[in-house]
Amino acid sequence: MAWRGLAQRGWGCGQAWAPPAGGRSCEELTAALGQPRLLGRRFNVFIQQKCGFRKAPRKVEPRRSDTGTSSEAYKRSALIPPVEETAFYPSPYPIRTLVKPLFFTVGFTGCAFGSAAIWQYESLKSRVQSYFDGIKADWLDSIRPQKEGDFRKEINKWWNNLSDGQRTVTGIIAANVFVFCLWRVPSLQRTMIRYFTSSPASKVLCSPMLLSTFSHFSLFHMAANMYVLWSFSSSIVNILGQEQFMAVYLSAGVISNFVSYVCKVATGRYGPSLGASGAIMTVLAAVCTKIPEGRLAIIFLPMFTFTAGNALKAIIAVDTAGMILGWKFFDHAAHLGGALFGM
């Protein structure tokens, strides 16, 4: 009975099937053959196969990475915000997603060092002018009545007592604190996730490579990074100069994120990353390479000291192991990329 219903409805007969010239149509064949006859245990003819069936279109499912199917796949570290899986769209051709970040990394790094060279030239000119202006200012201060208890004067005194490196990183720390406060605004969560977390599965690939360097979701994460940056600021600025330091720091954030992109595409783990750790690893590695015999200590264990060279070797070993073994609490690929760039 089921076969009869199929034959009477003429499934598969349509514009896609055309009978040969002088032949019979599908309906004529069905009417001529009439009811199917059994010869032994087999049907003598199958009209359905003669007329041809159209296959139903296959449903194309989006490619899934090995990070899992639930939003819990992106909640592997307390240092990153709770991100829904729908915020990221892994590409079916993951290697192609690295093309734009690669060009952005090369272009941004070149522009950063080119701008630093121009800034350095202009600073040299201004220093010569400021020398003569300083002589004039000292003479005016000597004849001008001094104000006691002036708050602005106290701020200027504190600022002038800072080293060049500390004055340079003060702006970086202020930018990180400002972005940290933006994370606390609920209406900005979607914007912060899109532009201030970096992932090769995000719709926005290039700008987060720089903006995520100033982004921290955890207060402890930000405090630890800014403390290390403040501690090494004087040494790195004395080595590179203020202008070259800014170029190195900004380029390090982009380069470390690109290394993270490559590792995520290779492993299929597309979780988001944020923080200044990659850029700070560049500062740390540069100082430890230039001053390998310098003595360092851990903030909570100041009684234990070690050389800067040994500290750098230990950090590289830990990050290499974490990248190979797939540890997910830190972005070890970004740390390792930043350290290699600093060296």
Task: Single out the residue of 258, 183, 188, 251 nearest to residue 221, CA to CA.
Answer: 183
Q: Domain 95-129+178-342, CATH 1.20.1540 — does that match? A: yes
Residue 82, helix vs strand vs coil: coil
Taking residues 136-153, report their average pLDDT. Answer: 60
Q: How far apart are the first and last CA of the chain?
A: 80
Instruction: Give dist(CA 94, CA 63) in Å, integer.
Output: 11
Break the chain into its structural domains and give their ranges.
95-129+178-342
Instruction: Give dist(CA 306, CA 185) in Å, integer.
Output: 42
Q: How confident is the model at residue 23 (pLDDT cuts 50, 70, 90)?
A: low
Kindly tell me if the per-residue pLDDT of 65 is higher than 50. Answer: no
Do β-strands 38-39 and 42-43 pair in parallel, antiparallel, or remain unpaired? Answer: antiparallel
Count CB neighbours of 336 within 10 A.
23
* pLDDT for position 80: 66
Instruction: Give dist(CA 47, CA 141) in Å, integer.
Output: 108
- Per the CB < 8 A criterion, the answer to whether 202 and 87 are in contact is yes
Kindly tell me if the per-residue pLDDT of 6 is higher than 50. Answer: no
* pLDDT for position 1: 44
* pLDDT for position 170: 93
Instruction: Give dist(CA 38, CA 209) in Å, integer.
Output: 72
In this predicted model, which residue has the larger pLDDT, 257 or 30? 257
- Per the CB < 8 A criterion, the answer to whether 278 and 338 are in contact is yes
User: Each residue of 217-237: pLDDT tens digit?
Assistant: 989 999 999 999 999 999 999
* pLDDT for position 106: 95
Task: Single out the residue of 294, 340, 274 nearest to residue 83, CA to CA.
Answer: 274
Q: How confident is the model at residue 257 (pLDDT cuts 50, 70, 90)?
A: very high
Contacts of 108 by beta carbon, 8 Å cutoff, 6+ apart = 210, 250, 251, 254
Q: Which two tokens stand for residue 300?
A: 């909570």
Tell me the C-alpha to C-alpha distance, in Å, between residue 247 and each of 57, 110, 115, 256, 339: 54, 9, 8, 14, 16
pTM for this predicted structure:
0.70
Q: Tell me the residue length of the chain.
A: 343
User: Each residue of 159-209: pLDDT tens digit?
Assistant: 888 888 899 999 999 999 999 999 999 999 999 999 999 988 888 889 999
* pLDDT for position 176: 95
Question: Which residues share a beta bridge with 307?
Answer: 295
Task: Single out the residue of 256, 129, 120 nearest to residue 198, CA to CA.
Answer: 256
Q: What are the catalytic residues? A: 277, 335
Q: Enumerate the H helices of 60-98 as residue ranges.
A: none
Place of tokens 């719709």: 203
User: Each residue of 286-317: pLDDT tens digit?
Assistant: 999 999 888 887 877 777 888 888 889 998 99
Q: Which two tokens stand for residue 15?
A: 């514009």
User: Each residue of 67-100: pLDDT tens digit?
Assistant: 333 334 444 555 666 655 444 555 565 688 889 9
| CA within 13 Å, CB half, 308 | 17
Place of tokens 């200012």: 137
Q: How confident is the model at residue 249 (pLDDT cuts 50, 70, 90)?
A: very high
